Amino acid sequence: MPIILIIVLFLLLVGAFPTWPHSASWGYYPSGGLGTLLIIVVVLMVFRVI
């Protein structure tokens, strides 16, 4: 289950990059938030919390 969570978070992170014209004004807010969430999940997995 944690591996699936990591894969889903990674795909969301890649999809949130502001590379499309309609999302150019968003900045890095969506990908920054998802990146932070991904790092937290990885750290919890390293310490065997989840």
pLDDT per residue, tens digit, the chain (50 aa), is 778 888 887 887 777 666 667 666 776 677 677 778 878 888 888 888 76
Q: What are phi and psi of 17, to 5 degrees?
A: -65, 135
pLDDT of residue 17: 67
pLDDT of residue 38: 79
Global confidence as pTM:
0.56
> Measured between alpha carbons, how far is 6 from 21 in angstroms, rounded to an integer?
27
pLDDT of residue 18: 64
pLDDT of residue 23: 66
